Structure 1
Amino acid sequence: MDTEVDYEGLPGGYSTGVNMLAGALAGISEHAVMFPVDSIKTRMQVYSASPAAVYTGIGNAFTRISSTEGMRALWRGVASVIAGAGPAHAVYFGTYEIVKDMTGGNREGHQFLSTSVAGASATITSELFMTPFDVIKQRMQMHNSQHRMVWSCARAVYRTEGVGAFFISYPTTLIMSVPFTAAQFTTYEYLKKKLNPSEVYSPVTHVIAGGLAGGFAAALTTPLDVAKTLLQTRGNSQEAEIRNAKGMLDAFRIIWRRDGLRGFSRGLTPRVLTFMPSNALCWLSYEFFKVAIGAHTSSPLA
């Protein structure tokens, strides 16, 4: 007898291992494809005294970087993201599915509280793993960065700034990522159920819901992302004020004193343009890999 598969919920036959592997593959796909735009976002957010590192927009940044440094510069640091994104996203999606199931998120209707708690829990665990890789990535993305290899960059940061440099932005990252993830997952689950109430496998639904959810969450948390970038790249600054920043409040004071409210929107456009397609790709990949892997590892329940 033919049975209709519920592709969306964990109880539909997909184990935690399947969700974690699907999440890892989705994370690598997401970050690798959109990495050049992320590089431009990082450069636009970094406070630098060098006029060569001040860009007026995405087009200006792309043209100047590619013409003066070559296209390869836009991919510098991608190895760090790939190394960290797989395990971090495995933890991310695995935690999300477990907590969502435990808190009743797979019941009928839009379970706002459940998806928010699950998303926040996923962020806390995955960001602890990913933050050091993000620090290395941003150091390699900077203008005139001397770092070309992930491990040599990691050794240089450790030697000159200590292990604390890899986690100086973790509190700020959490303060940013918890609302980002809560907004993203809640918006995604809401749109997914509205666009596809039957909850059958629908790639178009995952792309639309994932893209809109990612863009909304990215715009909402850009001010915190600017502060995070300042903290993660402070060791490369020539200015004592930035090098001595101890945390989020110091970063906020520096940004406010230099640019006012406008400073908190640095990199907004490339950040949104990064997260809309990357989030769409991430959810499309996640749901696809979950179905594809699950089909080979478990028997779907009727």
Structure 2
Amino acid sequence: MSDHGYEYDYEALPENSPMFIHLAAGALAGIAEHTVMYPFDSIKTRMQVIHPSPQAMYTGVIQAMSHINSTEGLRTLWRGVNSVVLGAGPSHALYFATFEYTKDLFGGNVDNKSHPLASGLGGACATVLADAIMNPFDVIKQRMQVHGSTYKNIVECALSVFRREGMQAFYVSYPTTLMMTIPFQSIQFATYESCRKHFNPQGLYDPKTHITAGALAGAVAAAATTPLDVVRTALQTRGDSTDPRLRNARGMRDAIRLIYERKGLAGFWKGIKPRIISHVPSTALSWVTYEYFKWYISARNTDCSSTPL
């Protein structure tokens, strides 16, 4: 309820709201999502490497963090975070803007009811475009996260990868990324919209609802897509691997076969705990940031339109 005694319908921004509002909201949400829980993403990456060094054999999240702290320092867990910051802004800006447009196109804003299908389709369309931007930054990030990485900064890493492996190295995992992120985002958006409508049927701005729905959506989506994330990690780190078969992997099929031969079915679930741990708060933070920004802009527009000339 506002100070003026009326409620803001913030779920869909006013029709005259420029696209940059969605872009700005998405950029801020994306940066917040990826940076806050970055250390857990680093641990997840190390756990998923097919042939880790003996110094990087971890039995759990707590043990991994303690071992890294004692042998390399906690700052190691933040290696490559600049790549995420640079990529997350533009990719998430495009992501949320595309989602809002396509969700409305598929009828997701027709009434105040839950529309999981429209939200899922919107999330799928959004991720195709966003991942095309984010994939090279993600490759750089993971190359710097692995144990023994000697890259001093993201520029050195990017140039080294390009010189040794060419542009293909930045996109060899793109099909796998889409195979993972399309269901991830579809599950996340559908779960979020369903939970939000269930917890808050009136559709009012409520941070507790957005945090809870976002956390549940992140947990479900992260758990369901972990096997494909393992495959993606294998492809994105292949150039720095000592395994000749992995270095010559041409795509998702080769990586799947190799993971199964070396680690069995259990290998596809490596890193599931830190993956869930990182996605629950980060997804919740992403959604509450985005929803707040939508509410704030909508409230300001409503106030301005109701102010007498």
Considering the TM-score relative to the shorter chain, is it more than 0.5? yes
- 2:201 maps to 1:190: no
Calculate the aligned-residue CA RMSD, in Å. Answer: 1.6
- 2:231 maps to 1:227: yes
- 2:149 maps to 1:145: yes
Structure 1 residue aligned with 2:92: 89
Looking at structure 1, the residues matched to 133 and 180 of structure 2 have their Cα atoms a distance apart, in angstroms, of 16
Structure 1 residue aligned with 2:204: 200
- 2:3 maps to 1:6: no
Query: Structure 1 vs Structure 2: percent identity of aligned residues?
Result: 52
Looking at structure 2, the residues matched to 213 and 266 of structure 1 have their Cα atoms a distance apart, in angstroms, of 20
TM-score (norm 1): 0.96
Looking at structure 1, the residues matched to 18 and 122 of structure 2 have their Cα atoms a distance apart, in angstroms, of 17
Structure 2 residue aligned with 1:291: 295
- 2:38 maps to 1:23: no
Structure 1 residue aligned with 2:110: 107
TM-score (norm 2): 0.94
* Pairwise CA distance, 1:13: 6.2
Q: Which of 231, 251, 257 is equivalent to 2:255?
A: 251
Segment of structure 1 superposing worse, 13-22 or 277-286: 13-22
Are the aligned partners of 1:22 and 1:293 in contact in 2 as well (CA < 8 Å)? no
Are the aligned partners of 2:48 and 2:233 in contact in 1 as well (CA < 8 Å)? yes
- SS for the counterpart of 1:10 is coil
Q: Which amino acid aligns with 2:69?
A: S
Segment of structure 1 superposing worse, 170-179 or 10-19: 10-19
Q: Which of 70, 79, 82 is equivalent to 1:79?
A: 82
Gaps of 5+ in 2: none
* Pairwise CA distance, 1:10: 3.3
Q: Which amino acid aligns with 1:117?
A: L
Looking at structure 1, the residues matched to 239 and 302 of structure 2 have their Cα atoms a distance apart, in angstroms, of 49
- SS for the counterpart of 1:137 is helix
- SS for the counterpart of 2:268 is helix
* Pairwise CA distance, 1:50: 1.7
Are the aligned partners of 1:116 and 1:183 in contact in 2 as well (CA < 8 Å)? yes
Are the aligned partners of 2:8 and 2:298 in contact in 1 as well (CA < 8 Å)? no
Q: Which runs of 4+ in 1 moved over 3 A?
A: 10-15, 293-302
Are the aligned partners of 2:52 and 2:147 in contact in 1 as well (CA < 8 Å)? no
1:169-180 correspondence to structure 2 within 5 Å: 169-180=173-184
Structure 2 residue aligned with 1:55: 58
* Pairwise CA distance, 1:30: 1.1
- 2:65 maps to 1:45: no
Looking at structure 2, the residues matched to 193 and 129 of structure 1 have their Cα atoms a distance apart, in angstroms, of 31
Deviations 1:268-298 (A, max 9, x none): 0000111111000000111112223444567
Structure 1 residue aligned with 2:69: 66
Structure 2 residue aligned with 1:216: 220
Q: Which amino acid aligns with 1:94?
A: A
Change (3 A) 1:49 1:32: closer
